[in-house]
Structure 1
Amino acid sequence: MKRHSLSYDVHFTGRLWTALSLVIICAVPAAVCAYLGVWPDGKLVAAGILKVGIIYIPIGIIEAVTFGPILGPSASYLAFITGNLTNLKIPCALNALKTAGFESGTAEGEILSTLSVAVSTLVTTAMLCAGVLLLVPLTPFLSSPVLAPAFANVIPALFGALGYMFISQNWKISVLPLAFVFILYVSLPVGIAQTISGALIPVSVAVTAAGARFLYKRNIV
């Protein structure tokens, strides 16, 4: 009974704060528009949302289905409200679980995931504040030609490290999706590959799930 009550409280609080976060996010630009007396064209806004939604709505659904079992309810609500799941919250939670020796889906794992996501959020907020305060003094140094190659490779380095972390956990499962994506991008023109990269995420997830199921049925993994 206590477990059911606690689960209800977690979901109620999580949904409440998610709704409040959406209201705040929408309230800030609405307040600016109301103050200046200038409102964007509804058709242009709808067209922009449609273009972005085609990519990010499937990604959001996939992240909720994929990351929810890993984090648990409490950490999931906190992570989705604060953002940066793939490149920050998930690696932090997985590393904490691996270091402590707990598994996802357990009560201990859920508590540890929530704490790791919370600490990650606080550290990120502190770093963003420091970045905003130091942006002007450090601009000459950051715009130096010597550092230009480093900044140009931040995203490849970030996702390369994340890819290694996930692939190293079970490299057999990663062979099929990596081969699928590699062959697809090599065979497609560069412009088309870049355009459909976001839409290929659910396709890649389906290929990965199918490959993992095949390997599991053959007792390979």
Structure 2
Amino acid sequence: MNRLIVSENEPITLLGGAPIDASLLAEGLRLAPKAVAADGGAKALFDHGHCPLAVIGDLDSLAPDLQAQVPAERLHRIAEQDSTDFEKCLSRIEAPLIVGVGFLGGRADHQMAVQSVLVRYAHQRCLLIGTQDIICVVPPQFALDLPVGTRVSLFPMAPTKVASQGLDWPTDGLEFSPSGQIGTSNRCNGKLVLAPENCSMLLILPRKFAEPVASALQCAPKWPAPL
């Protein structure tokens, strides 16, 4: 197990290196005012007048002049190359919720790697906020009130099943897999209730529901940490 670098009793915002604007950063910080940066994600914080609580990563994406602005005790270089900076962060942060900003909408390979890490660290409550959408791992039991007609997408990162209520196209009995049945572009017709059989299912919703999803995630049961 990796040594914890950040341990907080309140949600934190984690900044990645994908392009973000001021409104996206402000939304993350409104949900979780304390900020940690994954390597080059620190630049967005400095550009908007914030200093990160910690910077974690191999630091190959953070310019030397920006590294010099980070107090030495907040700069955590993890040199190994077997994990991404996002994984380096998730494995070293303890918080009731991690709000990830700057992980969606950049390079496609980076976003796919982020989605893979999300399900491998499903015991971490983590909500990713992008320009249009939000993404999280569906907890063991999840309930959320959404307006009728809201787009609800489910994407499996591995074979799984999910019981559901409140969807136009029910998912009960379906066998999901990345190369087979997926559940994108469904619609909500009532209170959304999801109960997946494992931690492989991603939930994708419009960005405007970031706040209620953040609250619902903190109330939902967690997936157990791997042994």
**TM-score, normalised by the number of residues in structure 1:** 0.26
Relative to its length, the structure with more helix (as a share) is: 1
Relative to its length, the structure with more strand (as a share) is: 2
